[in-house]
Amino acid sequence: MKLIVVAGARPNFIKIAPLVPALIAAGHDAAIAHTGQHYDAAMSDVFFRDLEIPEPRWFLNVGSGTHAVQTGKAMMALEELFESERPDAVIVVGDVNSTLAGALAASKLHLSVIHLEAGLRSFDMLMPEEINRLVADQLSTLHLTPTREAGDNLIREGVEPERIVFVGNIMAESVVRHLPLVEDRAPGRDFGLEPGGYALATVHRPENTDVAERLANIARALADLPVPVLFPVHPRTRARMEELLGGSDRVMLVDPVGYLDMLALQRDAAVIVTDSGGVQEESCMVHTPCVTVRRNTERGITCEVGANRLAPADADAIRAAVDEALAAPRDWPVPERWDGQVSERIVEALANGIPPLRGA
Ligand code: UD1
Ligand code: UDP
C-alpha cells in the first residue's frame, strides 16, 4: 500500500520511529510528511538521528502560530500533497495540531485515515490535545489503540468495533528497543548528578505554563524538593522559568535533550515530575515513579498500575505527591501490550484490510 505518515512535533517522532521501518519491511511504500510544527534541531533533527527514523520525503515548513494558523497552514500543505500523491491511506499519530490537520485534510479528500494512539481521553476540553483527539478519531477509518480502555472510549462514542484494533502502546516499543542501547549512559553525570540522586522535570502544557500563578507554584515546588532537579526545558517554558527560579542552585534548567539521553535520565531519576503525555508512559516502562502536574490524565492506566499520581499545580500538593512517589514500591506491572511487538501488530492490522469510509 502507498501510505503517507504525518508527523510534526516531538512526541510524533518517537511514535513513528518503530512504525515506519516496520511498514517498509512489510513491503509498503510508506513515507513521512514532516509538517514542520517543531523545527529546532533539539525538538526535531535529534530524534531522526537518535532513533534512526527514515528521512522525511516531504518537509512542509509550517512552523509556529496560533492553533488555527498552524492547523490551517498544515492542512493547506497536506491537501496539496495528498492530492498529488493520492495515497491508499494517511496515518496520523498522537494528538498534536499536525495530527488534526492530517486527519481533516485527508478525510475531505475521501482518503482513509488511520489513527495510531486512538481513543485516549482526558475528558477535558480545555486541553487542545483533547479536541485534536476527538476530531481525529471521528474522522478515522481505522483506530489503533494503546489500551483496552481507549477502545471502550471509542465504542462509547459510536465507533464500530470492527474499526478498532488494540495494538498496544507504540511509545513503549520505542522504550523496549532503545533501553538496551543506553545501558552504559549516565547523562546525569554531565550535570554532577548520580543515578538515583536527582529528580527529572519537564513542564510544557499551556495549563501550567500560561497561568503565571501555576508556573510560579511549580517552580517553588521544584526548588524545595529533597533532591536536586534536572529540568530540560521546552522552548515555550524557558524564559518564564528562568525568571521564576532566579538562579536557584536546586533546579538546573538545561536545553531539551535527545531521546537516548532522556531515556537514560528517566531510568536513573529517583522521581519524575512532568505534565508530558509521553513521559508518563516512559516512566512507567522504566520503573521510575512519576508525579503528573495536571488535574486529569488520558494516561489513567499509569496511575492504576501504581506508577503515576496526579498533583494540581500547588507547591504543597506537588511535594506531598513526590514524597508518596519516593516511598512507593517500584515493582508495578507494565500495562498489557506495552511491549516490543506493537509495530508488528499494526502491520498485521493493515494486512487484514482497512474498513471502508462510512457511506462509501
Ligand atoms: C505541541 C503540542 C503538544 C505537545 C508538544 C510536545 C499541539 C496543540 N500541542 O505543543 O501536544 O505536547 O508539542 O512538545 O499541537 N517552539 C520553538 N521551537 C520549536 C517548536 C516550538 O521555539 O521547534 C516554540 C515557539 O515559540 C512556539 C511554542 O514553542 O510558539 C509552542 O510550539 P507549538 O508547536 O505551537 O506547541 P507546543 O507547546 O510545542
Ligand atoms: N523528550 C526528549 N527530550 C526532552 C523532553 C522530552 O527526548 O528534553 C521526549 C520524551 O522522552 C518523550 C517525548 O519527548 O519521548 C514526549 O514529548 P513531549 O513531552 O514534548 O510531548 P507529549 O508527550 O506531552 O505530547
Quick check: CB of 131 below 6 Å from ligand 1?
Answer: no
Quick check: CB of 276 below 6 Å from ligand 2?
Answer: yes
DSSP 226-255: SS-EEEEPPTTTHHHHHHHHTT-SSEEEE-
Work out the pLDDT band at 245, boundaries 50, 70, 90: confident
By CB atoms closer than 10 A (0-12, 13-18, 19+), residue 52 is exposed
Joined together, the cell numbers standing for residue 61 give: 515548513
Q: Whose CA is nearest to atom 2 of ligand 1?
A: 96
CA of 172 to the centre of ligand 2 (A): 13
Q: Which ligand is nearest to the CA of 95?
A: 1
Q: What is the pTM of this model?
A: 0.98
Q: Mean pLDDT, to the nearest integer, of 15-32?
A: 98
Work out the pLDDT band at 195, boundaries 50, 70, 90: very high
Q: Whose CA is nearest to atom 24 of ligand 2?
A: 276
Which domains, and CATH codes, for the chain?
Answer: 2-168+338-351 (3.40.50.2000), 180-327 (3.40.50.2000)
**What pLDDT was estimated at residue 94?**
98
Q: Is 204 a catalytic residue?
A: yes
Question: How far apart, in whole angstroms, are the C-alpha atoms of residue 199 and residue 165?
Answer: 36
DSSP 140: -
Work out the pLDDT band at 247, boundaries 50, 70, 90: confident
Question: How far apart, in whole angstroms, are the C-alpha atoms of residue 280 and residue 302?
Answer: 7
Q: Are strands 142-145 and 164-166 parallel, antiparallel or unpaired?
A: parallel
**What pLDDT was estimated at residue 249?**
87
* Annotated catalytic residue, options 110, 204, 234, 287: 204
Q: Mean pLDDT, to the nearest integer, of 123-131?
A: 98
pLDDT by residue (tens digit) across 69-80? 999 999 999 999
Q: At residue 195, what are phi and psi to the nearest 5 degrees?
A: -50, 135
Q: Is the pLDDT of residue 246 over 90?
A: no
166 by DSSP, 3-state: which? strand
Joined together, the cell numbers standing for residue 142 give: 481505522
Q: Is the pLDDT of residue 235 over 90?
A: no
**What pLDDT was estimated at residue 248?**
83
Residue 18's contacts (CB-CB under 8 Å, 6 or more residues apart) are: 170, 173, 174, 177, 342, 343
Q: Whose CA is nearest to atom 14 of ligand 2?
A: 11
Q: At residue 16, what are phi and psi to the nearest 5 degrees?
A: -85, -10
Question: How far apart, in whole angstroms, are the C-alpha atoms of residue 359 and residue 343?
Answer: 29
DSSP 55-75: PPSEE-------HHHHHHHHH
Q: Mean pLDDT, to the nearest integer, of 208-220?
A: 95
**What pLDDT was estimated at residue 314?**
97
Q: Are 151 and 324 in contact (CB under 8 A)?
A: no
Residue 222's contacts (CB-CB under 8 Å, 6 or more residues apart) are: 199, 201, 229, 231, 245, 250, 251, 273, 318
CA of 250 to the centre of ligand 2 (A): 22
Q: Mean pLDDT, to the nearest integer, of 134-143?
A: 98
Question: How many angstroms separate the most distant Cα atoms in the chain?
Answer: 62
Quick check: CB of 259 below 6 Å from ligand 2?
Answer: yes
Work out the pLDDT band at 238, boundaries 50, 70, 90: confident
Q: Mean pLDDT, to the nearest integer, of 212-221?
A: 95
pLDDT by residue (tens digit) across 318-358? 999 999 999 999 999 999 999 999 999 999 999 999 999 99
Q: Is the pLDDT of residue 236 over 90?
A: no
Residue 249 has, within 13 A of its CA and on its CB side, a CA count of 1
Work out the pLDDT band at 183, boundaries 50, 70, 90: very high
DSSP 333: P
**What pLDDT was estimated at residue 251?**
95
pLDDT by residue (tens digit) across 296-313? 999 999 999 999 999 999
Joined together, the cell numbers standing for residue 15 give: 511514535
Residue 333 has, within 13 A of its CA and on its CB side, a CA count of 5
pLDDT by residue (tens digit) across 25-65? 999 999 999 999 999 999 999 999 999 999 999 999 999 99
pLDDT by residue (tens digit) across 152-164? 999 999 999 999 9
Residue 181's contacts (CB-CB under 8 Å, 6 or more residues apart) are: 260
Question: How far apart, in whole angstroms, are the C-alpha atoms of residue 6 and residue 357?
Answer: 19
